[in-house]
Structure 1
Amino acid sequence: MSEKLAQWIRNSRKVVLLTGAGMSTESGIPDFRSSSGWWKQINPHDVATIEALENNYSLFHQFYSYRLTALASCEPHIGHQILAKWESKNIIDFVATQNVDGLHQKAGSQNVSELHGSIQAIRCHQCGTEATKDEFLEEKACTACGGRLRPSVVLFGEMLPENSWKRALTTMEQADLVIVIGTSLQVYPVNQLPYITKGRTVIINNEKTQSDANFDLCIHGSAKEILVQTNNLLEQGGLS
């Protein structure tokens, strides 16, 4: 399967990627849904909401403080680094990601749209004034208006960042190869992006998804391992 993917990449003029959580878990980011103790009792879908921010800020703050603290010790894996290298060598053009961790950029990728925002950026929920991660972790109020601080992630019920969404739409429309990595495509409207292209489509995921039948090529397995295999094949073909 990696052989066909490498061949398609070689023969494509514009390659665009869409990545999800499966791209980040191999960097050691904890899966808080299955964590032991208190978090096992918490449904993230009940916490990552405007309602929680406004009506139960203590729980909201604990949830995102936990995520920020856990992320601090995580680094991009070799798969992230390969994608950054491919971009620098014009093998791929663009990465749209559902992840909010910033690992693509940390690895060196520059053409990235964060469709669900960034947990690394902190702002006031009320007035939008930027703040620091330390100010958020210390549960300080906004210095401009006294409002509550929050990460700049898209909460359930909020719109996607307009510029990031438009950029992803445009690049998907122009692509002749779209590669989806590490997402089961269950979250609307991002799950519609791969179907915008008129080119070939590939999905790489650890498990089968309900969307597999809609793709030209499905590869099941570790995102990191498949990217390493594909990169080795591309290097053998002289694209490194």
Structure 2
Amino acid sequence: MDTDKIKALQEDINNAKHIAFLTGAGVSTHSGIPDYRSKGGIYNGVAESPETILSDDTLFNRPQFFYNFVMNNMYFPDAKPNLIHKKIAEISNKKGTLITQNIDTLDTRAGNKHVIEFHGNLYNIYCTKCHKHLTYDDYAQGYLHKDCGGIIRPGIVLYGEAINPATLEKSVAAMEKSDLVIIVGTSFVVYPFAQLLAYRKPNAKVWSVNKTEIAASGINSIIDDARNVFLKINLK
């Protein structure tokens, strides 16, 4: 563990006026939710590409296949927020915004009041025909809406779908006003999420806390498990 870098990150957090957190699946692995592409991730060993499975085409043309994959691999209703979620929530609520790729709602359940769910969330469930919102328990009983026969879906951004324009606008605005950006638990290769970094202030400091290096210039990197780092981080 690089204690000097953690001290420098803590100092930047103390001095920042507004912080933008950009997070990914590595934040939720400590809550028992697997990531996507690592060994043991939800895409490991699947017969078809995630771009095919989690697409709007599969949702409507192979709804049972889509439903089985999502229900068996992506829902973890008993998962609880972990220390990383809670520390980010504490900092964000005082002087920051969290923009997350995660779709598990653990950040809001950790009490974070400033969350932008860039790719939507699994528990925003609705019927694609009548647009009625439904519960997870409703969805767990089957993908067809008993009232109208429409296909039920989670409100996540699928391959082939665009990011909600309002979400993009809010995310860019958060980046533009932040003087510190902290990237946590993501390989930072999925676009347009990774492109958000281009909207930071010219003088904004950028840190990444990740198990692997991020391929972007001008980033102060702490290569470590995020939980180890956030154990040492406190809000002054």
TM-score, normalised to structure 2's length? 0.89
Q: Shift of the alpha carbon at 1:31? A: 4.1
Q: Shift of the alpha carbon at 1:110? A: 1.0
Aligned in 2, Cα 1:188/1:39: closer, same or farther, shift over 3 Å? closer
Q: Shift of the alpha carbon at 1:73? A: 2.5
Q: Which 10-residue stretch deviates more, 8-17 or 94-103?
A: 8-17
Kindly provide the amino acid, as one letter, of the partner of residue 73 in structure 2. R
Is the 1:205–1:221 Cα contact (8 Å) retained in structure 2?
Answer: yes
Kindly provide the amino acid, as one letter, of the partner of residue 131 in structure 2. G
- Which runs of 5 or more residues in structure 1 are unaligned? none
Secondary structure in structure 1 of the residue aligned to 2:233: helix
Task: For 1:178-189, list aligned pairs within 5 A.
Answer: 178-189=181-192
- Aligned pair 1:194/2:197, yes or no? yes
Structure 1 segments of 4+ aligned residues over 6 angstroms from their partners:
none
Query: Which one of the candidate residues 134, 138, 153 is aligned to 1:135?
Result: 138
Q: Which 10-residue stretch deviates more, 176-185 or 138-147?
A: 138-147
Is the 1:172–1:194 Cα contact (8 Å) retained in structure 2?
Answer: yes
Whole-Å separation in 1 of the counterparts to 2:157 and 2:111: 23
Kindly provide the amino acid, as one letter, of the partner of residue 91 in structure 2. W
Kindly provide the amino acid, as one letter, of the partner of residue 103 in structure 1. L
Deviations 1:203-229 (A, max 9, x none): 111111222x342x1111111111111
Structure whose residues are more often helix by fraction: 1
**Corresponding position of 2:81:** 76
**Corresponding position of 2:57:** 51
Secondary structure in structure 2 of the residue aligned to 1:118: strand
Secondary structure in structure 2 of the residue aligned to 1:41: coil
Aligned positions, number = 228
Whole-Å separation in 1 of the counterparts to 2:109 and 2:226: 18
**Corresponding position of 1:5:** 9
Is the 1:98–1:115 Cα contact (8 Å) retained in structure 2?
Answer: yes
Q: Shift of the alpha carbon at 1:99? A: 0.5
Q: Percent identity?
A: 30
Whole-Å separation in 2 of the counterparts to 1:98 and 1:140: 24
Whole-Å separation in 2 of the counterparts to 1:68 and 1:132: 16
Kindly provide the amino acid, as one letter, of the partner of residue 161 in structure 2. E
Is the 1:129–1:144 Cα contact (8 Å) retained in structure 2?
Answer: no
Q: Shift of the alpha carbon at 1:84? A: 1.7
Query: Which one of the candidate residues 86, 111, 127 is aligned to 2:91?
Result: 86
Aligned in 2, Cα 1:124/1:83: closer, same or farther, shift over 3 Å? same
Is the 2:144–2:152 Cα contact (8 Å) retained in structure 1?
Answer: yes
Q: Shift of the alpha carbon at 1:39? A: 7.0
Is the 1:126–1:147 Cα contact (8 Å) retained in structure 2?
Answer: yes
TM-score, normalised to structure 1's length? 0.87
**Corresponding position of 2:177:** 174
**Corresponding position of 1:115:** 118
Kindly provide the amino acid, as one letter, of the partner of residue 209 in structure 2. I
Q: Shift of the alpha carbon at 1:2? A: 0.7
Whole-Å separation in 2 of the counterparts to 1:103 and 1:149: 22
Kindly provide the amino acid, as one letter, of the partner of residue 23 in structure 1. V
